[in-house]
Amino acid sequence: MHTTDRTLELDCSKLTPTLFQRLVAGLAPLVSLFRGFRNRMEVNGLHDLNDSQLRDIGLTRADLTSAFLASTFFEDPSEHLTRSARNRWRLQLFRSHEE
């Protein structure tokens, strides 16, 4: 009985992206820009809410203004609002535990 060692050389270091992968990678910045613009329009719509409605979602009018001032036109202001709401929630939670 003879045993033959067979090896198969795989050249995995030269993986080239497929056409679909290149297309997705090329469109990613455009998709990100569109998402930021859409979120900016949604955040702008929050100005229509009254103060108690904003308070219900953990925001203030000052948060809306600072979100627009802190972000450039191509940045997403919703990230700033998310941080503001979470920080306010954590502060209230901390204050409730102090009492």
**What is the 3-state secondary structure of the chain?**
CCCCCCCCCCCHHHCCCCHHHHHHHHHHHHHHHHHHHHHHHHHHHHHHCCHHHHHHCCCCHHHHHHHHHHCCCCCCCHHHHHHHHHHHHHHHHHHHHHC
pLDDT in the model for residue 53: 94
**Block mean pLDDT (10 aa), the chain, length 99:** 64 79 92 89 92 91 90 84 90 82
pTM above threshold 0.75: no
Exposed, middle or buried, 89 (CB in 10 Å: 0-12/13-18/19+)?
A: exposed
pLDDT in the model for residue 92: 86
